[in-house]
Structure 1
């Protein structure tokens, strides 16, 4: 699961109530842990992180990390210990033993078959279907943290060598270290071995076995080269997109230009196809630090904080030798020509995909507890319907006389009914049940821009707001805000409007709103704004507020 690249969704410190709930869940899942051992794994006063990731196949996984060591992970509502916990508590799970050559096949994704199992004198572990099990190599039980699996011989194989040769612990640690360094580029604080989720991995390779594996490794060398020095590669890609954007996208008339707009609308569009620009994977980590380096080390731009907390590019050195000598990639030359022929002159825009989501509230937490969805968990409407339906079926609440109704039990009563209904309402229709559930959850939304990771936020998405105001001598001006929420560059929108209506415009920072700009253009231009947003940018009408304020025919404005 973790052998390939995964994406970190969030990394937060666990709350006190969630820590207690996690302890209870671990104690229930692994009853062999003593109270002291449980307190050692989940201490009360030390920082414990909850990290949510998406595996390479799209699985949503929750990790619980202590001192940069992943302890447990949750997949499909079930807790599993990581290898680091198993190294420290080898008896936590029923364990099957095998030989190192077999272990290498398991690492590649093969299943453990009976011929590969080393049967001890006490026989095979007593397990049932769907039981969580561990796999270890003969002669090594292990405990410790992510520094590498130590050697701890078991009672039966102590003093014996594997296949007549010694296990080389130093080589194990080198293999383990290389795996960790690769994964840490994806998640700096939380490292998980990519070898196996359920096993106690010793990674004990003999020299003979390593020589046999060299031929197979030759085929993977090309892929490994791509993964070397990921920060240096991302730094180079950043510089390339930066120079490309300055040379072919940014015009002097656009300055000053918000740094966030420059990144979103210019640099991203200059990223070569097949690659993804991610500042967090570079050595700079933040856009501000990257631009600071471009200013101080390369003298390419000058960045200034025009309003508090909002930085803009105020000057570009177009005569800079590095910029003048930069050759725009041929692939994107064609793209630039296509843009110019489009008529509006800005980077091709694709509207984001916007989805309404719902967050589990404190009041509804008991209803979602069986599904292991705690307060704050964000769900899609279909997931909410499924969880509620499963809860009703599990508790046999469907009315036997009329299948369209659900009987109200104490949990549903507390979660969904008003106090005045406690004594009166005994059942609800399915549709009413679902609508009440969604109505008592906190509304959220997800925005997905093409080629970028989804962005989830609480509350309602702000619509693009269009209004008409008077400015001295009763002159009308049209005001537009919240364009940035939909990935639109205010300067580009204002320039396109200026070409259409031949009127001047002004861009003004919005007080108290970070990285947001108000577009002000002369006259009542709501009709033109409407046509531009709906037809050209294809923003859905429901996300635009104020279209009804357009001037009526025959009236002077």
Structure 2
């Protein structure tokens, strides 16, 4: 939830009555806390603030901050402790253990999968689905992540420790952690690990088990990278290459050259195009599917065993509609939400049409105008444009007329002379 930066809406000091209410809410959410621990978490005289934010997906979150360190965050009327609290009270939540390499995945926004959970000799922590729980790494009891149980402990065992274990909301090193003093987790000895290290034979056996667990985690992560993602990247590079790289003079074009010189160069930075990881496995199968599905290209075997692109339909409507999709709606992010929506619309409006977005934006902009006269620098003024006063005077038996234009704001006077010319009747 806090992988990306969030936007602060308000930051206010909590009053005495609100402190008592917060203390009662924390006690109800975490009944294992003693009175002394509650007083330590919510003191009467130290600086305690309530910060209201919008997460990057638009979720409204309330954070309770003590001495500039976030202690708890409230999401959908439910309190969750931060890692700063759990480092002081590591036994506050049921905690699942995992391997240190998995921590980087959690920090990146992934949930804790059951193959990555280290099951102690005493068994899994007892949790029900949706219970608040924590995650720590082997050899250190200090929690590094907070979330909710995806399934109950009994269901985890029934599933054979496969699938999702903990839906992670907050981790060490995320933006909520960075909102505090950015201190690191303390070193708290892992009793389970110490007990396993007493006997050499048991230690060696445990190391083998750990290695197997790591392999299972790696295999599961590889399985998670669905070919669908690579298929989408393959299609994107294919269409991009046809639109911006391939020229008519190059046809017929060897498919291997098309892949090497055009498609690879269209791959976005930070991504790697690998056909073997797609559902097609081979370039020939992919191009065959593109020919049958979109009819954008024609592929023929001009030389035995060597395929070439012999024709490209440059005017095919799918050529642009697939490559450049257009959405008539704009997703309302936290910035647009604050600028364009009324308070009553915060939880209801998730997208706006383009014309509605522009009209709302223009309606909230301050009016201004610019007047330019030859030989003078342009003058820009805020607000509505000032009215222009025009006075008309007759001279010489109503034949000669003088019009005076007086611009109040700039104190400019322009005189215009003209004559009335009688038009003969027909």
TM-score range, shorter chain: 0.3 to 0.5
Higher strand share: 2
Q: TM-score, normalised by structure 1?
A: 0.33
